[in-house]
Chains A and B, each alone.
Chain A
């Protein structure tokens, strides 16, 4: 039996600094990176002209917002997906290192893979997943939602609410940018959307935008593996989370994201469930069907790790403080705050007061301009602001704090946001990378395989293998003769096409397409 394929698209954030330390625009850097890719990588241009399909079967391109993006080839094993995600990081990092020669003024390039901007822009970019399946899209969307809202207890990247003027730690900052539980369209950021763009014949494609890029190999493996298993179970009619669906998936996900104890429960059709109890329902269904042939061969290993992580989270998430993205960050950030004399777990009063303070400041003669803490607390501050400060002083005192602690809190917030931005940086200076080198993390997956090889070699099975081999063979040909998409390669001059609509294609069979109206438009009718 062939099991459905899966893949991940990772958007990166790039910025740069010139010799004087001034910022160089992301747009210019992204375009330079694209030129470098065309010059240095072995590939065939993507049909849209914004990237290249590569010899490892994946694709590099520049997505909206000037975000470089690497899409893994389609794989049938989540460990392979993680290996190709890491291979993509090496490819993108290699391109970034060569940007000096591409006509930009950048002397230092900053490349990172977090999904949230902390400068105040309230912008986000994605890490999307794709899973093949055959059942009705409506059924898949309904039954996978409980998994997606609860998996963040091990798939969350960790970080902060960028919309709050306080310091609000979140297991999954991407949640703050999701607009709803489900959507018909792929245009909105929903937990799950029912729009189906298969990119292959015979299968639907579940395309998820609610996930985040992860530095921990264990977390990345569990994210893709558990989701692929859940998709497989739903596809085979097992209804793994019957009765555990939160009444409001959107509200449930937000509640789970705010709770680093992983104990909060949400109302469901059968009572109340925690994120862990929902996950256990999926896990137990999977375990009950190991060995009966309906789940992939890697399911057993995945379930063992899944159970261990859930057990540790339930006992005490601190047991995983060296293993998952959000738990590593929580340890670091709480420590940083303690060093600054601030207890992060006690900032809730500030998180409640500061939005009201900012609203009062905006309505005052200060208006919408930026104001310093010192201006707000000055004796000559506008009267509404003085009133607010006076009225709120007893509340702060009851909660063991005072206005004197506002400046250290504001400074700490900025520092934490910088540390959070630097955490997943793709360089030796990245904080996660430094921790990994120091040997203090426990995130690695022993069977991950050869990442260097995955930079150049396609997967062992499926159409990605055929695509990668053809890309390698044809990459030396004049580039404007070939165009590539996920389900085809077109030879424009030779008037022939390699059909890769079968995701399990094993051979490259080129066929002529004749002389009907303009060949390029027929092959790529977009």
Chain B
């Protein structure tokens, strides 16, 4: 029972990335993680962003669904 509860807590912590009860990790590590995410985002966007966003949006225009 204790092992299962511990595993559940660890799994939940991994899911939310928070090691404690809403503690959210220390500020420094959060900022560093945030900076990594933004750098990766810049790179991902740079690779795909078109030269003409308006043209892209028009070309991928969708009809309404349900």
Contacts and interface: CB of A to CB of B under 8 A. Distances in A.
B57 A418 contact: yes
B8 A126 contact: no
A126 B66 CA distance: 6
Given A65-B64, A335-B38, A429-B48, A417 B53 contact: yes
Given A23-B59, A65-B63, A418-B49, 16 more contacts: A13-B62, A121-B62, A123-B65, A125-B65, A128-B66, A301-B12, A309-B16, A311-B21, A332-B38, A335-B38, A414-B53, A415-B53, A418-B50, A419-B45, A419-B49, A422-B45
A305 interface: yes
Given A328-B37, A419-B45, A64 B17 contact: no
Interface residues of B, number: 43
Contacts of A128: 66
A75 to B, nearest CB: 19
Nearest to B19: A308
Those 10 A-B pairs whose CB atoms lie nearest each other, nearest first = A311-B22, A125-B65, A442-B17, A434-B44, A65-B63, A319-B24, A418-B53, A414-B53, A23-B59, A304-B12
Interface string B25-66: 100001001101110111111011110011011111111111
Interface of A: 11, 13, 15, 17, 22-23, 26, 63-67, 110, 112, 117-121, 123-126, 128, 209, 218, 221, 300-301, 304-305, 307-309, 311-312, 314-316, 318-323, 328, 331-332, 335-336, 414-415, 417-419, 421-422, 429, 431, 434-435, 438, 440-442, 444-447
Contacts of A301: 8, 11-12
Contact of A429 (B21, B47, B64): B47
Nearest to B60: A15
A319 B17 CA distance: 9
Contacts of A112: 60
A421 B60 contact: yes
A440 B38 CA distance: 9
A120 to B, nearest CB: 8
A441 B34 CA distance: 10
A104 to B, nearest CB: 15
30 contacts: A13-B62, A118-B57, A121-B64, A125-B66, A128-B66, A218-B15, A301-B8, A301-B12, A305-B15, A308-B13, A308-B15, A312-B16, A314-B22, A315-B24, A318-B30, A321-B37, A322-B34, A331-B37, A331-B38, A332-B41, A422-B45, A429-B47, A431-B48, A434-B43, A435-B37, A435-B44, A438-B36, A438-B44, A442-B16, A444-B14
B41 A444 contact: no
A434 B49 CA distance: 13
A415 B54 CA distance: 8
A511 B47 CA distance: 57
Nearest to B64: A123
Contacts of B40: 434-435, 438, 440
B57 A417 contact: yes
A321 B24 CA distance: 11
A442 B16 CA distance: 7
B18 A308 contact: yes
Contact of B65 (A63, A323, A434, A435): A63
B59 A15 contact: yes
Contacts of B9: 304
A319 B30 contact: yes
B8 A435 contact: no
A227 to B, nearest CB: 17
B36 to A, nearest CB: 5
A100 B40 CA distance: 31
A28 to B, nearest CB: 13
Contact of B57 (A119, A307, A332, A446): A119
